[in-house]
Amino acid sequence: MHFKKILIMVTTLAMLGSMSIAVAQDEEKNDGLARVALITAKDGHGKALEEAIVKYHHFMGKKEGAFRYQWYSIETGQDSGKYIARSGGHNWADFDAEHDWDEEAGAKFAELVQPHIANAVVTITKNDDELGIWPDSLEGYEYYSATRWHITPGHYDAFSEGLKKIDGILKAGGFPGYYTFIDTVSGGDGNSVMLVSPRKNFADMAPKEPSFMDIMGKAMGEEETKAFMADWGTTYKSGQNMLLRHMAEQSDYGDGK
């Protein structure tokens, strides 16, 4: 089994009434939590929803302590045409915060956005702080490839140890790609992990050198790598893969931040 699978959905709004929360700045130390929503627009309401989100985010731009959501469209996979909204960099306590503008924000959301939403599934996720290779800045990255891995019951420790070994080898070997791992800590389907890999464009999705197997083979030997990957591959089952496109206009709050 090869390494090119893992990712994650992302995002969520201050939707469903007054889901307001204090913002934890990404540059500050935090619990690495994100509130994420998978959003389905009503039939024929996609464009209207996108326009409504722009208006709502500009309305929320001056609200101190409001969550800030990045929006993504799902371009491939079984959820094509749906959206993901994500607000990251939070502590658990952020989800308890209340504000004097909560009622006003809830009413505005109900007026502008809610009429265009058919369904929304909300989860809370956590970034793995130890594993992965990530760019210093996401400027210029428009796409995110994502795959969910379902860990075999009773094999979490073996899966985790194997993943740590692979991650260490890739870092030491100068792997030319970026990736991060995300756990779902509330909501979701049982024991799983997602890998997210940012890409600037479609050309950026082409294989790069040295490849994953090149680096692994150099570190462990070709036959040892094959045996290791075959054994580690029994600790999980690859699930849904998707490609996300960042929606810059819908992610902007109109205040220059």
Strand, coil or helix: what is 140? coil
pLDDT tens readout for residues 175-199:
999 999 999 999 987 788 999 999 9
Give Cα 214 distance to the centre of its chain: 28
pLDDT tens readout for residues 46-82:
999 999 999 999 999 999 999 999 999 999 999 999 9
Residue 214 forms part of a structural domain = no
Q: For residues 35-49, give the mean pLDDT.
A: 98
Residue 141 forms part of a structural domain = yes
- Report d(CA 23, CA 257) in Å as an integer: 13
> What is the tally of structural domains in the chain?
1
CB 6 within 8 A of CB 148: yes
CATH number of the domain residue 13 falls in: 3.30.70.100
Q: Which domain holds residue 28?
A: 1-154+177-200+240-257
Residue 87 forms part of a structural domain = yes
Residue 18 forms part of a structural domain = yes
CB 149 within 8 A of CB 5: yes
Residue 224 forms part of a structural domain = no
Is the dihedral angle over the CA atoms 20, 26, 29, 31 positive or is it negative? positive
pLDDT tens readout for residues 21-36:
333 334 467 899 999 9
Rounded (5°) CA angle 13-58-137 = 70
Global confidence as pTM: 0.86
Residue 221 forms part of a structural domain = no
Residue 223 forms part of a structural domain = no
- Quickly state the pLDDT bin for 122 (edges 50, 70, 90): very high
Which phi and psi (to 5°) does residue 209 adopt?
Answer: -110, 140
pLDDT tens readout for residues 124-183:
999 998 999 999 999 999 999 999 999 999 999 999 999 999 999 999 999 999 999 999
Residue 162 forms part of a structural domain = no
